[in-house]
Structure 1
Amino acid sequence: MAEVREFNLPDLGEGLTEATIVRWMVAVGDVVAVDQTVVEVETAKALVDVPCPHGGVVTARYGEEGDEVPVGTPLVAVAVAGHAGASPAATAASVASASAPAAPAPAAVPAAEQEGSGNVLVGYGTRAPSTRRRGRVGGPAPLTTPAAAPEPAPATGPEPYGPDPAAATAPAPVRSGAPRHLNGAAGTAPARPTPAPTPPTTTASGPAPATTGPVPVISPLVRRLAREHGVDLRDVPGTGPDGLVLRADVERAVRERSYGTTAPAPRGTAPVHSPAPVPRAAAAPEGIRLPLRGLRGFAAEKLSRSRREIPDATCWVDADATELLAARRAANEGHTAPGARISLLALLARVCTAALARHPELNATVDTEAREIVRLDAVHLGFAAQTERGLVVPVVRDAHARNAEQLTAEFARLTESARAGTLSPADLQGGTFTLNNYGVFGVDGSTPIINHPEAAMLGVGRIIEKPWVVGGELAVRHVVQLSLTFDHRVCDGGTAGGFLRYVADCVEHPAVLLRTL
């Protein structure tokens, strides 16, 4: 006999609370093995393959591609063999021979199974989460029947078009001894007395709008539309049968209020001559709405937090990068193998680590709860990489301990993984300083937003030939603009200016780096 077990979305680390289903690897009825990948999900940081710790036949998939799934909720249900040694084929036959299509409730997992299959998933394995879903105990609470319920107050008039939201919202009490139905009716209660209708009040221009009594509206959509735009339905003349207020009537009232025109008189009244209406522009078309989730949603939340918490400031300087480019060409002479050439980004990263050694105030973070500045020993250098999924910031661990060749290799590895969408959460966390080379987009300068909770970011613009004064004479040189955005809480402008000036000196005279090698 096969037992059905649910596999929940495991904790993917870094405080991630949900993931988006990108692609299902299995379908209902497929036979899966232990630790086989069943679904590919996208978190706010990376694409993750999720293996299932159960082997058997897939009986259910929870969610479609594009749906967001919270951590701890079921992903798939798998029918596993009820006895030891049963093969997946036997399990599939057992499931196929079952007459009831509904999946049975998940059975208790043996102690050996509770430990998980052991396959590591982002450092957390495929063990089931410690929290358990709370089941609903018992049936619904019984309805209380008071001994003597007071009679509801009689209405002020008939309600041929449904209740008015302005009326009392409390439900009518249940009569003792009468069965309560789902629609709120209690048996065969006697009908409420209907008073004689009051003749409408008329004016010189026709009937006056009613101020009391029911509103001739039957559509909840019309009521909601009027509520959202602040329109009093009693002042809207209805064009439907028997004066019924339609959606078009509310939309016309909204437009006329916006453009200052007069609403047409109800049918059956004498027309009122008025000036020709002012031509009004057509309503703006509905825009395209894109869900702010996944990588884009994570970036939006993080950047917004940076703007709220960090009082940032920016300083910049132009530097002559001619000597830096010459040093790079000299270092790459004779190295033609793929991956053997030192990249310009690696040289700039080496300059950053040297500058942070001289100005450690910028390799820090602010603990707002403790009201403390935490200066960090290691430099974990983040760099901006543009991918099809958006902008990501991979992190080079211990960048201060790597030379230019090692930095080049690590930049290449992380960039390739970022473009392929295979970065792990560990590759995107723990940065202490960010290097942003926006010159690849053909721009000179920028004031970037600091990557929270870091304290600074160095921006590098494009390197372009410009007229430059060298030795008192005008020459054409390769010039780059460098900008530093920093958290003004960790240092003042003097420290930030000293950092940026040292970086510019290293760019203009790479031999300055020899003092730190």
Structure 2
Amino acid sequence: MGIHTIKMPDIGEGIAEVELVAWHVKVGDLVAEDQILADVMTDKATVEIPSSVAGKVLSLGGTVGQVMAVGSEVIRIEVEGAGNVKDSAVAPSPAAAAAAAAAPVAQATPAAPPSPPAPTRRENAPAASAPHARQLGDKPIASPAVRRRAWDLGVELQFVPGTGTAGRITHDDLDAFSARAGQGAAATQADQRYAERNDEQAVPVIGLRRKIAQKMQESKRRIPHFAYVEEVDVTELEALRAKLNAQHGKTRGRLTMLPFVMRALILAVRQFPQINARYDDEAAVATQFGAVHLGIATQSEAGLMVPVVRHAETRDLWACAAEVTRLAEAARSGKATRDELSGSTITITSLGALGGILTTPVINHPEVAIVGVNRMVERPMIRNGAVVARLMMNLSSSFDHRVVDGLHAAEFVQLIRGYLECPATLFVM
């Protein structure tokens, strides 16, 4: 037997260190070749570290949240053969040595069966399906969709055993809990709802959440933000969107409101190039871009990410919609590349139906502006002296006051408003 060490690979682009964000194995586990051992993060891209050998895990090289240098030891694995560590013969444990000394000598015994092969990922899956023990006060882990279903069912996730990775609660777990729940379970749950609680939980800010915290702190520390909010009558735009979806939805894909906002912003920055820019704090230089690399703030289970629609100025409504969908899926599944998560020149953020009346979005440093889309609400408005129902939506935008004057910010948002309230102009400019 020998020892094989796996070191932190060179991920490229001059990256010297990464953050360890998850272990998928523990000491004593049997691993197969190509099995994923750990996840590491560089900037906002998550990279999986696979095993190059099969064997038994002897030690882990770091803890979750630790920053590790490229080339440092990730894991040690006991393997058949010599391994890649000099003098790596594995000495028997004291217990094994004592057992060997006590064994009878020269006694004919059947040959021991060969060691079983390392389990595959599929073989490991049943072992991962056992319910995860959760203490009172531990925050249950679940996707937004599972949380919404639990809310609709009136189920508190605190009481639902999770069989997913790290105790994550799945839809199947929720279904199983709901099926088992009877009057007794409901009474127990109700009793615990009103029980006095004094528990505390320290939650390490690591991985993507740490990156988000650092990014937001840097943006607010460096950029003197100012906000500008304007309401937009999107009644005609919504009618156009519905008509385009009815005519072309099955063949070209359905449109949300976002591609129209993207198109309006693209046209507006042609007249305000200082807003489609990035500001270098150290050099005191604002670089204005002809290309519109449009960041789309996207919520994932791990946290906020900003995938980038590159050269949005070259795309029509359907091409914008398709690229946003592709990037959002990549971001939420953790498969977005570093290039897909960097290089934006201006950003759009939206909370969809949860968009509220207005927001004060934080600029995506080193950009100088961000446009926030709030939810659409039908409200009574006065038009030509009559009260009529109109579909209204607020735009909440933030600007870097070092680069963008208040007057120009207001004119920029009013130009976007004009395009959205008269949607025909989106296609004639």
Common fold by TM > 0.5: yes
Q: Unpaired segments of 5 or more residues in structure 2?
A: 94-196
Q: Which residue of 1 aligns with 2:414?
A: 501
Q: Which residue of 2 aligns with 1:100?
A: 91
Q: CA deviation at 1:65?
A: 6.8
Q: CA deviation at 1:20?
A: 2.6
Q: CA deviation at 1:416?
A: 1.7
Q: CA deviation at 1:42?
A: 4.7
Distance 1:442 1:374 in 2: 31
SS at match of 2:274: helix
Question: Counterpart amino acid of 1:100?
Answer: A
Question: Counterpart amino acid of 1:66?
Answer: V
Distance 1:48 1:467 in 2: 51
Distance 1:379 1:362 in 2: 11
Question: Counterpart amino acid of 1:39?
Answer: A
Range with bigger deviation, 347-356 or 22-31:
22-31
Q: CA deviation at 1:27?
A: 6.6
Deviation string, structure 1 residues 255-289 (Cα, Å, up to 9, x no partner)? xxxxxxxxxxxxxxxxxxxxxxxxxxxxx967432
Q: Which residue of 1 aligns with 2:286?
A: 373
Distance 1:31 1:464 in 2: 54
- Out of 287, 301, 314, the position equivalent to 1:388 is 301
Question: Counterpart amino acid of 1:45?
Answer: K
Say what the alpha-carbon RMSD is for the aligned residues.
Answer: 3.2
**Contact 1:9–1:70 (8 Å) recurs in 2:** no
- Out of 220, 240, 245, the position equivalent to 1:307 is 220
**Contact 1:365–1:455 (8 Å) recurs in 2:** yes
Q: Which residue of 1 aligns with 2:173?
A: none
Cα pair distance change 1:505/1:67, threshold 3 Å: closer
- TM-score, normalised by the number of residues in structure 2: 0.67
Deviation string, structure 1 residues 41-60 (Cα, Å, up to 9, x no partner)? 355524321235x5464563
**Contact 1:312–1:485 (8 Å) recurs in 2:** yes
**Contact 2:2–2:90 (8 Å) recurs in 1:** no
Please show how residues 449-468 of structure 1 align to structure 2 within 5 Å. 449-468=362-381
Q: Which residue of 1 aligns with 2:342?
A: 429
Given the alignment of the two structures, is residue 331 of structure 1 paired with residue 322 of structure 2, yes or no? Answer: no
Cα pair distance change 1:300/1:67, threshold 3 Å: closer
Range with bigger deviation, 352-361 or 17-26:
17-26
Q: Which residue of 2 aligns with 1:408?
A: 321
Distance 1:91 1:30 in 2: 18
Given the alignment of the two structures, is residue 19 of structure 1 paired with residue 10 of structure 2, yes or no? Answer: no
Distance 2:232 2:4 in 1: 67
Q: Which residue of 1 aligns with 2:74?
A: 75
Please show how residues 189-200 of structure 1 align to structure 2 within 5 Å. none
Distance 1:40 1:410 in 2: 26
Select the structure with the greater relative contact order (CA < 8 A; seq sep ≥ 6): 2
Q: Which residue of 1 aligns with 2:255?
A: 342
Percent sequence identity is 33
SS at match of 2:413: helix
Distance 2:14 2:342 in 1: 8
Q: CA deviation at 1:382?
A: 1.0
Distance 1:448 1:59 in 2: 46
Higher helix share: 2
**Contact 2:2–2:78 (8 Å) recurs in 1:** yes
Q: Which residue of 2 aligns with 1:39?
A: 38
Cα pair distance change 1:14/1:509, threshold 3 Å: farther
Q: Which residue of 2 aligns with 1:484?
A: 397
Given the alignment of the two structures, is residue 297 of structure 1 paired with residue 210 of structure 2, yes or no? Answer: yes
Please show how residues 162-177 of structure 1 align to structure 2 within 5 Å. none
Q: Unpaired segments of 5 or more residues in structure 1?
A: 81-88, 103-283
- Out of 401, 420, 443, the position equivalent to 2:333 is 420
Cα pair distance change 1:69/1:309, threshold 3 Å: closer
Distance 2:368 2:314 in 1: 21
| Residues paired across the two proteins, number | 323
Q: Greater CA radius of gyration, 1 or 2? A: 1
Q: CA deviation at 1:377?
A: 2.3
Please show how residues 93-242 of structure 1 align to structure 2 within 5 Å. 98=89, 100=91
Distance 1:404 1:16 in 2: 40
- TM-score, normalised by the number of residues in structure 1: 0.56
Given the alignment of the two structures, is residue 438 of structure 1 paired with residue 429 of structure 2, yes or no? Answer: no
Q: CA deviation at 1:484?
A: 1.9
